[in-house]
Every structure is written in C-alpha cells, then in structure tokens.
Structure 1
Amino acid sequence: MNLHSFLWEYGEKVPGYDIRVINEREARAAAGILGTLGMIVIFVGIGFNHIIVARVYLAFLFLDFTARMISPNYAPSMLLGKFVVQNQKPEYVGAMQKRFAWTLGWLISLPMLWWFVIHWDINFYKVLICVLCLVLTFLESAFSICVGCMIYKAITKDDPQHCPGGVCEIRQKEPIQMFNPVQKAITALTMVGLIVGTYLFLAYEEPKTFFGEFLHETVLTETQLQKEKDAAYQKEMEAEFGDDDF
C-alpha cells in the first residue's frame, strides 16, 4: 500500500457510487459490539474490582481503531459486525467521513491506553472519557448518528456524500416521520420524566460507590450539600451520645 492509496483509496469502490464507501450496517454492528463490551467492562470493574478487564478492553479498543484508520477490512470489531449482518442488504456510506470519525476515536483511545493500560491512574474525569466513548458508540449503533461525521462536515465546509441514515440529502420528511400533537406530548413527557427521574435518583438515593458519590455531589447545590453534611454530623452525634442530657 503506497501513500496515495493509503490517503485516498480508503474504503470500497462499489458500482453506482462515485466515491469510496463502507457498509454502514457493519459499522453500526461494530459500534454496538464495542459499546456492549464497554458496559460489561464497567459493571465487572465496579462490581468485582477487576481492573484487568478494563485494561484488556481498552488495549483492544486502541488496536481496533488503529486498524480502522488503516483499513476497516481488518479491524476485529468490524469483522465481527460483518459476520453478524452478513445476510442483510448493505447500506453504503461515504468512507472518508467515517475514517475521520474513527480517527477521532483513536485520538480518544490514545490517552486511555496510557492512563488505564500502561500506567493505571484512574479518576472521575478520566472515567468520563470512557463514558464519552460509550455514548458515541451508542449514538452510532442505536440511532446511526455519527458525531465524527458531523465534525468532518463542519471542518471541511463541504457536504459529505452518502451519510449514515441519508442525513446529507436535502429532503422533506416522510409522513411516517412526522409527529402529531399527542405524540409530541408523550415524547416531551417521556424526556422530562427521564431527566427528572435521573436527578431525583442521583440527588436523594444514598451513593454506594466513589463514582455515585461524585455524581450525587454534582447535582446538588452548595446549600443542599451543606445541609446534608449537617444532617450527617447530627446523626453521628446522636449515635455517639444518644439522648443523654448533660
């Protein structure tokens, strides 16, 4: 592979498409596989305190994105995704914007390789980087939303061709995509319920882990935190001295 082919002949040449493309179905399946594995790693790591699973997963993630930048045909997760969706009709999308998105994924995985694989040094903000990766893989696998492709469009100032879900094409929504008033109300109530429910859980349930404690403190105001500390102190005093009068 020479430099020209590496830079400009990325993806597959498919009849009927004037640019090189990749199969979006394989990409979405691969994103779902990486996201699922990431969630398992988080649960196992927190629940059983096994950091080795995180190290293996993040090393795999780095190698996988490295392979994607060179050729998605040999990236492990893409091959697994290809195996899963091999009987589905391909959905072709432009290869260059996907390569740009995967390059961003590689850049995100690079510091994680140092923090968690080579030199274990964990804190909340570094964990947020991992969470960001999971969010991006979820958006791609569940909704076919490629954030990196959007950034690519903003940087190049050029409309990419054949975007996931056909979002690049200027078109009117089909009737089935429209919301009637009842659907709008249900959607809005569901979103509000999710946000309020999450806040109430984080604010009023007793945290059990370091991560949960950080989130708990994040959603509270300074006044609420001080009130909570005062109540905890009062509870400790009552437990120590009881109701004895001096």
Structure 2
Amino acid sequence: MPHSATASTPLYGQALYGQSPEGTPLTAGVFNEHEVRAAAGVTMALGTAAFVFAYFAKVYLPIQVVTTLFFIEFLVRVVAGFQYSPVRWAVRWMTRRREPEWASAKPKRFAWSLGLVMAFAMMIITNSGIRGTLPLTICLLCITLMWLESVLGMCVGCELHGFLVRRGWAKKDPAYEVCAHGACTIGTRRGAGS
C-alpha cells in the first residue's frame, strides 16, 4: 500500500497516488514495468552487438563505447530514477499503447545498482585493454540478465532484493512493493494451490 512521502524522504520513481483503507492520501515511487522491460531489450541488443564485434571480429571500440554508455545509463537510473534515463526516453514510444504495469521503485533501484557495478567493471576492463575470460564472462552474464528481464520479465536483482527482505537483511519498501512474478512477496510464494 502506498504511503505519504515526506519532506525528509524524497520520492524515488514516478509517483503513484492512492488512499489507505482509512482514506489517508498515499504516494509511492514506481516504474512502468513495460518500459523497464523494453529498456532491457534495447540494452541487451546493444550489448550483444558490441560483444559480437569484440569476440568474433576483435574490434573493441563498440564494446568500449557501449560499456561507458551503460555505466552512464545505470548511474542515471540509480541516482535520479528511470524516468530520467536516456534509454527510457528512447523506448517510451514502444510501450505507449500499453496500460502501465506499475512495479515498485526500490527493488528496481537495487537491481540497477548491481547493474551499475557490473557496467562500471566492464567499462574499466574494456577501456583498459583487458581481454580474455574475465570480460567475456561478465559480458555474457550481463546479456543473460538483460535477456531474462526483457524476454521473461524476470528481474534477478528484484528476486535477490526479495530474498534479502524475506531473510531480514534488507527492508521492504513501506510504500508499495510489487515486483513482476511476485519477486518481492514476503509471505509464502508460489505455494500449493497457487
């Protein structure tokens, strides 16, 4: 259920407005899951193309450029929010005819923070001229994670966030925490009869 945003806690994400059962106005930070998945698809296509050039043609400039762009993209998502992301602006038209499917901002931010770390590592590795198994492994992992999100709607970072919350190692977003496929659900998930 959304909660009131206060002056001390700025809202991260797009505002979703609602009411509590008592009628109190509520606000939560969310992102449109359709836009997030489209953005994952676009970044996956860019990353795959750059990977193919680097791995098969031994042309490294595309992967150096793409990893730098990914670092900037994830930095914007984590610091300012997905609504300011350059890729989001590019994919808005792809999803404009679909009704928004809201997903909580906090688990997405956690997932994008992991993406930021991997993008930073790849940017440093590829622009330093390191070649071989390390960048190959990280690149394939990133492409796989983007494929899972864009094609299957599975946000591995959100799944990890949900796991950490269920273990008590992270806090649930008190406002509104809904993730694709119930990744953020705290109680029993996918139990008997569901």
| TM-score between both structures, scaled by the size of structure 1 | 0.62
Instruction: Provide the residue aligned with 1:78 in structure 2.
Output: 88
2:15 is equivalent to residue 13 of structure 1: yes
The answer for the alignment partner of 1:34 in structure 2 is 43
Change in Cα spacing, 1:144 to 1:6, as seen in structure 2 (3 Å) is farther
The aligned runs of 1:130-209 (5 Å cut-off) are 130-156=139-165, 157=168, 161-168=177-184, 172-173=193-194
Deviations 1:160-208 (CA, angstroms, capped at 9, x unpaired): 62111345455744xxxxxxxxxxxxxxxxxxxxxxxxxxxxxxxxxxx
Decide which structure has greater helix share: 1
Contact 2:40/2:146 (CA < 8 Å) preserved in 1? yes
Q: Aligned residues, how many?
A: 169
> 2:73 aligns to what?
64
> 1:113-146 deviations in whole A, cap 9, x for unaligned?
11112x1111212310111111110111111111
Q: Which residue of 2 aligns with 1:22?
A: 31
Gaps of 5+ in 1: 174-246
Which residue, out of 45, 52, 76, partners 1:43? Answer: 52
1:138 to 1:62, Cα distance in 2 relative to 1, 3 A: same
% identical equivalent positions: 28
1:93 to 100, 103, 106: 103
Report the AA paired with residue 148 of structure 1: G
Distance 1:108 1:63, change over 3 A: same
Q: Higher relative contact order by CA 8 Å / sep ≥ 6: 1 or 2?
A: 2
**How well do the aligned residues superpose, as a CA RMSD in angstroms?**
2.3
Counting strand residues as a fraction of each chain, which structure ranks higher?
Answer: 2
Unaligned runs of 5+ in 2: 1-5, 19-25
Match of 1:129 in 2: 138
